[in-house]
Amino acid sequence: MRLSKLVMGLFLAGGFVGSAAAQTTMRISISIAQNSHQGIAVDTFAKEVEKRTAGRYKVQPFYSGSLGGERESIEAVQLGTQELTFSSSGPVPNFVPETKILDIPFLFRDKAHARAVLDGPIGQEMLAKFDSKGFKALAWGENGIRHMTNSKRAVSAPEDLKGLKMRTMENPVHVAAYKGLGIVTTPMAFPEVFTALQQGTVDGQENPLSVIMASKFDQVQKHLTLTGHVYSPGIFLMSKASFDKLGAADKQAFLDAAKEGVKANRARVDEDDAKGVTELRSKGMNVVENVDKAKFVSMLAPVNAEFEKQFGKANIERIRNYK
């Protein structure tokens, strides 16, 4: 009897150890709503990690900036106080300056071109640059192609932007470019944007259709212009310390899970882009679809000359001409 109790005790103890091991829980955060292209990215990633590690790792997603804005979340991952985040490229150059080049306006021809660059050697070289900064960059995802909204007037040419007070990401390339278009730039963390628009602290903002819809900006913005001025990558970032603790098979599981997250993320962006204009019009937004992009590009010529000095013309051309 005593022996069987001992065996039972050992079995239970083993069971508890097993279940504890199964519950290595990690957190991942996004700054926008769960029902979004970023939400599907982190939800898919979490499901895939659990499946690929046979339940030994569980990833718990947090949405709508509940763990802080993008910059704070990236800082927490760098410090190792949070394991994972999925972010737009907005604040990323503050941590890995080499990524600034991706935010140059009108750099990419379209989403297909941008995805090819990020999935190819250029994007992979850039992911490796995160290692020395305390991160493991698991994969490039997508935020989408950015467009402008405001509450004041329809914008169909760059001169219509002059004097508009616009929230921008905390990103030096964006700030420089938008100043070149005559915008009064107001860098601001994303969780503050809706209230700032509602209260009139800023007149407008710029984001992909996916973000505009998920954030219900139609409630506080009247005008949308399909400027398509910047392609905005997303990125899965993991604390380097957390990644380095994983065994080889689990490291691969996390990398593969991120790739699956990216597939779901990009598919949702495509879906949102396909239906976005109709949906936002139905909610009362005035949408300007035909924009003379050449005018925007020529107005940005002085800023682009500065970017060529900063990043090197050859580096910019390598991206522009990538097939």
Helix axes 111-119, 121-128, angle to 10 degrees: 60
Please tell me the total count of domains within the chain: 1
User: What pLDDT does 264 receive?
Assistant: 98
Distance CA 74, CA 84 (A): 8
pLDDT, mean over the chain: 93
Distance CA 204, CA 197 (A): 7
Least confident among 14-18, 143-147, 235-239: 14-18
Distance CA 72, CA 27 (A): 14
- For residue 315, pLDDT beyond 90: yes
Residue with tokens 């997603």: 61
CATH number, position 171: 3.40.190.170
17-49: per-residue pLDDT in tens?
444 455 899 999 999 999 999 999 999 999 999
Distance CA 131, CA 158 (A): 39
Considering only CA atoms, give the Rg of the chain. Answer: 22
User: What pLDDT does 18 receive?
Assistant: 44
Residue type, 94: N
Average pLDDT over residues 138-146: 97
Q: Which helix (H) or strand (E) holds 289?
A: none
Portion of the chain with pLDDT greater than 90, in percent: 92
Q: What are phi and psi of 86, to 5 degrees?
A: -120, 125
Average pLDDT over residues 66-88: 97
Average pLDDT over residues 209-227: 97
Least confident among 12-16, 82-86, 132-136: 12-16
Q: How confident is the model at residue 204 (pLDDT cuts 50, 70, 90)?
A: very high
Q: How confident is the model at residue 7 (pLDDT cuts 50, 70, 90)?
A: very low
- Give the three-state DSSP class for 64: coil
**Token pair of 228, please?**
């398509």
> Read out DSSP for 249-280?
HHHHHHHHHHHHHHHHHHHHHHHHHHHHHHHH
Residue with tokens 């910059």: 71
Q: How confident is the model at residue 14 (pLDDT cuts 50, 70, 90)?
A: very low
Distance CA 285, CA 226 (A): 12
Average pLDDT over residues 201-213: 97
Say how far residue 1 (Cα) sits from the centre of its chain. Answer: 60
User: What pLDDT does 221 receive?
Assistant: 98
Q: Which helix (H) or strand (E) holds 230?
A: strand 223-239
- For residue 3, pLDDT beyond 90: no
Average pLDDT over residues 182-198: 96
228-267: per-residue pLDDT in tens?
999 999 999 999 999 999 999 999 999 999 999 999 999 9
Distance CA 135, CA 12 (A): 38
Average pLDDT over residues 254-282: 97
User: What pLDDT does 170 receive?
Assistant: 87
User: What pLDDT does 19 receive?
Assistant: 45
Average pLDDT over residues 205-209: 97
**Largest Cα span, the chain:** 88
Please give the residue range of the domain that contains residue 150: 2-320
